[in-house]
Amino acid sequence: MNSRSLARALLASVALAASVVLAGCDTDQVSLATNAKANQPVSPKLVAAMAEKDMDLQSPILIRLFKQEAELEVWKQTRNGQFALLKTYPICRWSGDLGPKVREGDRQAPEGFYSINPSQMNPQSAYYLSFNTGFPNAFDKALGRTGSQLMVHGDCSSRGCYAMTDEQIAEIYSLGRESFFGGQKAFQFQAYPFRMTPVNMAKHRNNPNMPFWRMIKEGYDHFEVTRQEPKVDFCEKKYVFDAAKAPDAKRDPVFDASAKCPAYVIPEEIASAVREKEQRDEAEYNKLVAKGTPVARLNTGIDGGMNKIFASKIPEGSTGLSEGAEGNTLQMLAMSKAPGTIPGTVNPPKPNIDAVAAAQQEEPVVAVSTSPSNTRVATAAPAEKSGGFFSNLGHKMGFGTADATATTSPPQATASVAPATTPATAASRLKAAVTRFVPGHHEAAKDKPAVAAKSAEPAKPAETKVAATRPALKPSVNEGAGNVAASGGGQLAGAAPVVSSNSFDNRFSAVK
């Protein structure tokens, strides 16, 4: 009797062990949820939104991100096979400028198309949770671009990454985890400087990155017209989207980012839809340029951006290179609930201290009296004699004149030189504005030294301490806060140890 019971127990143990092996045959998936943070369930509210949009919990996802708008979108495949927008998350912090990452240490957050597989998910991140963007991809490598460990992570602190709050990254991580458990081998991550609309393309038409942006806009358009994840290939140091085998070809084309493009075709139903969209966009773009749409001022040393919902929560917060908001709007946003916990060490975007130190004495202001005109002609490049760095910074913050310069050809115009004391007075006011509107002006920044006014001996930045402990788990993101809308890689293999330290640089040097 005892021997029969023992035999049954052994058989049950073997069956249980076999089921565990079968369920965990993909070691990458096993590493996705090795701790409580990485194993948090998708919030009931988000599950309900999926049901309303005809989505399954474990259906594939796709992520799009926009620097200027400081927003990250999570798209999910519906039961009809197309992707639909599940939720938009405001980005807490990104660093660098609009434009792609070029080299290690340039503080740039990458732009382009990347593929995220389970091994790039890091449940042991020093920044709560994270996933590796996969930079550099084959296109980046073909151009000799360098960089590593570029992440989307929590902690709202960036030095070349895209930083969310811990609550946001927990939710995004859980969506990626479930898609992998549902069978998705990798999800696509699309990073853009801004939404690729005719208006934005017109505003940035003189930016040296425009050729690259026009190239990745093709992939943006492919997704817009198909609502399917575009197939991405590289050849001749360029992106190719939705390439297919030519009708007379015997095998699929083989792509090499540095080699000549093979023979391929784009399916006509996709090509024609993309062509029509591009024609509409180009027509609108030409109209905007013809009527003198102002050109966006190039970066004057401001480091990155921050969504306005987060800027409104920080004393004298700034959105930097992201889309800003009027004072009253920020005050109204400050009354709403933030989409997650904002660490006390967060530094909003601010001017580069080197750029401030290099600012030269402003030239005399020349006032020109002209007749009124409704015509606004955008300047083709950043003004070189418009009042110096602080004046330009003031314009970017909303002080003084607009970016565009109104010009007319009146029959008579008189010019008068302003008093010599005017520039110095204006510079003083603008320097005061920097001190007032740039948080952390008199203290050290977590990511970068704070801006200091020009002086004979610049003050040494004070050391900023980072809290040693944080809650292990964070509640789900409040979906009714601010801009959060529920509208419709150097790779990391497995888990990495958590690194504790008290400074941003030391923490960042570890795996994020």
Q: Could you list the active site residues?
A: 153, 161
Beta strands in 165-315 (DSSP E): 187-192, 232-235, 238-241
From the number of C-beta atoms within 10 Å of its C-beta (0-12, 13-18, 19+), residue 460 rates as exposed
CA atoms within a 13 Å half-sphere pointing along the CA-CB vector of 353: 18
- Closest to 502 in 3D by CA, of 472, 467, 471: 467
Whether the CB-CB separation of 150 and 110 falls below 8 Å is answered with yes
Cα-Cα-Cα-Cα dihedral sign, residues 36, 42, 44, 45: positive
Place of tokens 């993909």: 26
Q: How far apart are CA 115 and CA 119, in angstroms?
A: 11
Handedness of CA 239, 245, 250, 251 (dihedral sign): positive
Which pair of structure tokens corresponds to residue 377?
A: 């002609």
Query: Based on the number of CB atoms within 10 Å of its own CB, is 92 exposed (0-12), middle (13-18) or buried (19 or more)?
Result: buried
What would the two tokens of residue 358 be? 């290099």
d(CA 98, CA 207): 9
Task: Give the span between the Cα atoms of 136 and 356, in whole angstroms.
Answer: 32
Q: Which helix (H) or strand (E) holds 130?
A: strand 130-132
The rounded distance, in Å, linking the Cα atoms of 60 and 116 is 12
Question: According to the 3-state scheme, what is the secondary structure of 308-372?
Answer: HHHHCCCCCCCCECCCCCCHHHHHHHCCCCCCCCCCCCCCCCCECHHHHHCCCCCCCCEEEECCC
Kindly state the tokens that stand for 150. 């570029």
